[in-house]
Structure 1
Amino acid sequence: MLRFAANVSTMYGEYDFLDRFEAAAQDGFRAVELQFPYDFEASEIARRLDDQGLALVLLNAVPGDLRTGEKGLACLPGRSRECLDGVARALEYAAALATPCIHLMAGLAPAGIPRATLEGLYRENVHAAALLAAQAGVDIMLEPINPIGMPGYFLNTQQQAHDVVQALGLPNVKVQMDLFHCQIVEGDVTRKLRTYLPTGRVGHLQIAGVPDRHEPDTGELAHPYVFSVLDQLGYDGWIGCEYFPAAGTRAGLAWARPYL
């Protein structure tokens, strides 16, 4: 049986953030993921999780200054210390919330700097982040993101991410395979699942309808077929539902009912 985690940063926007955990549990989710928890005390989030019997399976490291448009620091020259400080902050939350995975955002590639230079810096920062995370038993996730939704993002394709994971050879560095981004950038999603899942390098999946990022039963990607392929491949990890409901979260959960 496939396992789905509600993303409480994108779903349940009808509720105040801390009330979204209860709403997700009421709808049958046993796990959640989120993007940036840092405006709230870890102890308060932990209480909400415990009260609802929920696991928090993924959170993002501090991405820099979101207010100025930063989308991560790992590829940015001169920001390595700040990047690793953000990972350390995320690990504090992961420890308090028993979260096994942290997504380390690559960042927007600065203009005028050769990609090879940024690639070397990115790998150094991922390596350093992974060593920090390993001490806490946490995995570092690398997520390719489509350049239409996030122009200039450094990491766009599945192969780019897998190349980094293979080059580093660290057991706690894995790919966060968001099928929404994969479909927009590359397509051929189920062939890529068949290629990459057996490698053991994929640590987390995410879904959303393409191209509008609403419920996964909308848009151009046939999720029932995708789910059947995941079943065939024996995928037993979490699948994060990182989408924005089109007309209220509960009104759009028909696709998930068989799994909750």
Structure 2
Amino acid sequence: MQTMAKPILTRPSIPPEDAETVIDVDDVSMIFNIASEQFNSLKEYFIALARHELKFKEFRALNHINFKVKRGEAFGLVGTNGSGKSTMLKIIAGVLEASEGTCTVRGTIAPLIELGAGFDMELTAKENIYLNGALLGYRKEFIDEHFQDIVDFAELQNFMDMPLKNYSSGMVARIAFAIATITEPDILIVDETLSVGDFLFQQKCERRIKELVDSDDVTVLLVSHNIDQVERLCDRVCWIEKGQERMVGPTDEVCAAYKSLGN
């Protein structure tokens, strides 16, 4: 009988107090302007825009968020849906620019923010490995050297010549995670990627994240609705709720407060 892999039960060691700060989120707010009325078509929208009749209301996706992340730390972001966690990650990754405040990042980033981002679904998995690797800054020679490592980790040896449009979301996640973690980036940003795929591969990804953090050089920023996963992997956590920072601190304390939200 095959023995099932056991989940990871221990968190990485906490970095020393004097460790370098690699992510410094200082009083960050993100403001979006949303049309205050609904339109039935783009034509109606542009007519209102041309007549200067279009009115907007301000929506604060993030409101004065503050936290620092040390080198070698596994840091989590939690909160209910629509609370601004992914927006915060996109600001850190440089995809969005904060409306107010500053976000300072020191080091190279490997973002796993949106599954399939940077992939061409018409191309094969093999072609996408080279394409996505190039977008992450890897030279062709580097991908050549690590290609088999990527394939082995993703466990998709028999599907390399298949277009990604025929892949499941879980298979795409395997490829994306394998590419992003073939080296040790300074900062690995993971947004719900670990929730896709079968539980054995989820555990494999967790083990890889733990290996990266245990190297003391890689910082991991994790967003997950799986609080058990956050408790297993993260040293500290920031709880953002509806754009407001509710709590920053040790994982056990913040997750306990977050889980009591519905009580």
Greater percentage in strand: 2
Same structural fold, with TM-score higher than 0.5 when normalized by the shorter chain? no
TM-score relative to the length of structure 1: 0.37
The higher radius of gyration belongs to 2
TM-score relative to the length of structure 2: 0.37
